[in-house]
Structure 1
Amino acid sequence: MTTTLDTDPCAPTATHAIGSEAATTVAGALKSLADPLRLRMLSAIATDPRGECCVCDLTDLAEVSQPTISHHLKVLKETGMLISERRGTWVYYRIAPARRGAVTALLDAFAPAATLDAAEDDTAARAEALRTMDGRVTRLAEELADELTGLNRDLVVAIVRESYAGLVRSAKLTQHMIPLTERFARQRLADLTRDRQDGVPQVLFVCVQNAGRSQLAAALVNQHAAGKVIARSGGSTPAADVHPHVRSLITEIEGEQEADAAFPKPLTDDAVRAADVVVTMGCGDVCPIIPGVRYEDWAVGDPALASTEGVATIRDDIDTRVRELLSTLLTD
């Protein structure tokens, strides 16, 4: 007996599309955000150190009247993005707890990705570059294994190859890929073998792309600690390069050589385990919880999305937090 199956591509099939009611709710929320000023207001509230803002805090975002600011806040509140509380003559707004995850995803993942310049992907050229790079990575692994005789050879080779694989997923394939792989591998090997009892304190800064806040915080630690604290940084989804605004700031803080050497790196368990303090900056619960490691979350703005004046404000905010952190680490 022969059974004929209907393979008509236009035949109705089961759908996994979002439900009508949920789609209506999401569309309403997205519609409320379809205004540049509202997005800036939402970002200001989400990253304010107090966790809230009043109308008077938001009037400098644009040359509009206070009633206009209040109108935009009302729209955000009506769609569930914000909650409010009146204190005397002022009303304070904060992100609704149920929407905090969505707001974080919007501001720290979608927004930076949406503002990146589109680039053509030459698949054939990339494939050829990868084949050429593989042999160079193998030679680098062998050379490091020969140099670091105190470490297991197979471990060194594995870390080098893992480091390259982690970087190549997001980084641009350039003549600097091998030096970057070497730096990242040496950093990971140092983290693996770190003496937590006798070594200097170590701080790990984590954000989504490791292209802005976390890079800037690490540079400020290096400036203020003068070698008395080691700074590391990583990203849950690393970008291809450090943001130009942040690279300029790193040049001012550490000099052109260090700024040129900065590059986004993936977050690793090695870095978390080696850290005395892990500071997350808008990346959610991406860090594994390691006993004995202190965790902090800093709500600071994203330089990639800020104006020139905003970037300066974010730098000052991070600088203040870094100084407070170092005061506790160096005192301890």
Structure 2
Amino acid sequence: MGADAAAGVATALRALGDPLRLRMLSLVATSPTGEACVCDIATVADVSQPTVSHHLKVLKDAGVLTSERRGTWVHYRVADAYTAAVPVLLEGFAAAAVEAAPGGHAPSGLTDVDATLDRVADDLAARFPDLSASVVLRTVRESYTALARRSTVRTHLVVNTERFARQRLDDLVAAGTDEVDTRPRVLFVCVANAGRSQLAAALVRHHAGDAVVVRSAGSAPAGDVHPGVRPLLADLGAVDAFPKPLTDDAVRAADVVITMGCGDTCPVLPGKRYEDWVVGDPALASPEGTEAIRDELDRRVRALLADLLPDHPHP
């Protein structure tokens, strides 16, 4: 480790070198929304408001947290530069420290969030009354496990679990019924679901809005979206993108399945329209190359939409 890097790490570790600050950081990092109001953070210990403010200022000055005032309250979230490092600290280092303590054990895994997943399942069960509660709960738990196995950013894990489970339940309903919804359903599949398929799905939403039901997935999903792709997704309004594993239900529910570099790992079902788009991988491209890949995908997406929605106005 170089001297500058060591100095930066030491500054962050000094800011985290207080049990109360670590608990505050944990509350922010594990919030389902990825942020926490100062009014909630103040509940982690019986201390005065000035003390809470002091500790939050230390974390902000070290660059670990950022804040935004909305009306009466200030909301805090983990700074972008630390979104990968903080989960490692809270889940890896903390677990090891507990394990090393006399008589300690490191709680980890699905059982830690059982109550939260039960609440997610209850909410989704109300949205999918035609599915049994057991199917909904199993889908939520499977979705959490699939994302937790690969995700490198845990601050939004519960939120992403709800989104992924909701998509899976929607696909399950669509695949198993004569659906009244006649909108075309398009599934984009690449290996990591971290670049090409994410961009393609975002472009469909950008151009077609709700006129098309679009999904993206990966045969071997990455832990997070490629950093070079995130600004392009943000320009398209896709600020909450995250890699998702490919499921059979997503394929069954799709009218069109478009693969990009994943070979024969995608299930082939009769009656589906399949296309393979030969498009470069943003993970191997320069910023200019990534923009060129976006432009190529945009051309292909426009042609696809012109075919699927001939009466829909196209830019």
TM-score interval w.r.t. the shorter chain?
Answer: 0.5 to 0.7
What is residue 189 of structure 2 aligned with on the other side?
206
For residue 220 of structure 1, the aligned residue among 179, 199, 203 is 203
1:125 corresponds to 2:105: no
1:169 corresponds to 2:149: yes
1:244 corresponds to 2:227: yes
C-alpha spacing 1:123/1:278, structure 2 compared with 1 (3 Å): farther
Q: CA RMSD in A?
A: 2.5
Instruction: Find the aligned partners of 2:273 and 2:254 in 1 and give their Cα distance.
Output: 8
The alpha-carbon deviation at position 320 of structure 1 amounts to 0.6
Show the 5 A alignment for 1:90-169: 122=92, 125=95, 128-130=107-109, 131-169=111-149
For residue 236 of structure 2, the aligned residue among 247, 253, 257 is 253
What is residue 50 of structure 2 aligned with on the other side?
none
Instruction: Find the aligned partners of 1:280 and 1:124 in 2 and give their Cα distance.
Output: 40
* Aligned partner letter, 2:161: T
Deviations 1:246-266 (A, max 9, x none): 111011112xxx31x111000
What is residue 312 of structure 1 aligned with on the other side?
291
* Aligned partner letter, 1:307: S
What is residue 331 of structure 1 aligned with on the other side?
310
Task: Kindly indicate whether the alpha-carbon contact (under 8 Å) linking 1:129 and 1:173 is maintained by their aligned counterparts in 2.
Answer: no
What is residue 253 of structure 2 aligned with on the other side?
274
C-alpha spacing 1:160/1:328, structure 2 compared with 1 (3 Å): same
Instruction: Find the aligned partners of 2:243 and 2:92 in 1 and give their Cα distance.
Output: 22
The alpha-carbon deviation at position 199 of structure 1 amounts to 2.1
The alpha-carbon deviation at position 196 of structure 1 amounts to 5.0
C-alpha spacing 1:227/1:132, structure 2 compared with 1 (3 Å): same
* Aligned partner letter, 2:308: L
Instruction: Find the aligned partners of 2:248 and 2:213 in 1 and give their Cα distance.
Output: 17
Task: Kindly indicate whether the alpha-carbon contact (under 8 Å) linking 1:206 and 1:283 is maintained by their aligned counterparts in 2.
Answer: yes
Task: Kindly indicate whether the alpha-carbon contact (under 8 Å) linking 1:196 and 1:274 is maintained by their aligned counterparts in 2.
Answer: no
Gaps of 5+ in 1: 1-116
Runs of 4+ in 1 over 6 A off after TM superposition: none
For residue 231 of structure 1, the aligned residue among 214, 219, 226 is 214
For residue 288 of structure 1, the aligned residue among 267, 270, 281 is 267
Secondary structure of the residue aligned to 1:193 is helix
C-alpha spacing 1:173/1:307, structure 2 compared with 1 (3 Å): closer
* Aligned partner letter, 1:250: L
For residue 186 of structure 1, the aligned residue among 166, 175, 192 is 166
C-alpha spacing 1:199/1:123, structure 2 compared with 1 (3 Å): farther
Instruction: Find the aligned partners of 2:181 and 2:112 in 1 and give their Cα distance.
Output: 42
C-alpha spacing 1:291/1:242, structure 2 compared with 1 (3 Å): same
Instruction: Find the aligned partners of 2:181 and 2:295 in 1 and give their Cα distance.
Output: 32
Instruction: Find the aligned partners of 2:126 and 2:298 in 1 and give their Cα distance.
Output: 41
Deviations 1:99-143 (A, max 9, x none): xxxxxxxxxxxxxxxxxx9x8992763963424223422332234
Secondary structure of the residue aligned to 2:210 is coil
* Aligned partner letter, 2:223: A
C-alpha spacing 1:318/1:290, structure 2 compared with 1 (3 Å): same
Deviations 1:10-61 (A, max 9, x none): xxxxxxxxxxxxxxxxxxxxxxxxxxxxxxxxxxxxxxxxxxxxxxxxxxxx
Task: Kindly indicate whether the alpha-carbon contact (under 8 Å) linking 1:206 and 1:279 is maintained by their aligned counterparts in 2.
Answer: yes
Gaps of 5+ in 2: 1-84, 97-105
The alpha-carbon deviation at position 315 of structure 1 amounts to 0.7
* Aligned partner letter, 1:223: H
* Aligned partner letter, 1:166: A
* Aligned partner letter, 1:156: V
What is residue 63 of structure 1 aligned with on the other side?
none
What is residue 52 of structure 2 aligned with on the other side?
none
Greater gyration radius:
1
Instruction: Find the aligned partners of 1:277 and 1:149 in 2 and give their Cα distance.
Output: 27
Q: TM-score, normalised by structure 1?
A: 0.59
Instruction: Find the aligned partners of 1:138 and 1:273 in 2 and give their Cα distance.
Output: 27
Q: TM-score, normalised by structure 2?
A: 0.62
C-alpha spacing 1:173/1:321, structure 2 compared with 1 (3 Å): closer
Instruction: Find the aligned partners of 1:144 and 1:198 in 2 and give their Cα distance.
Output: 19
Deviations 1:72-91 (A, max 9, x none): xxxxxxxxxxxxxxxxxxxx
Secondary structure of the residue aligned to 1:280 is strand
C-alpha spacing 1:309/1:175, structure 2 compared with 1 (3 Å): closer
Secondary structure of the residue aligned to 1:279 is strand
What is residue 4 of structure 2 aligned with on the other side?
none
Name whichever of 317-326 and 189-198 sits farther off.
Answer: 189-198
Instruction: Find the aligned partners of 2:207 and 2:299 in 1 and give their Cα distance.
Output: 11
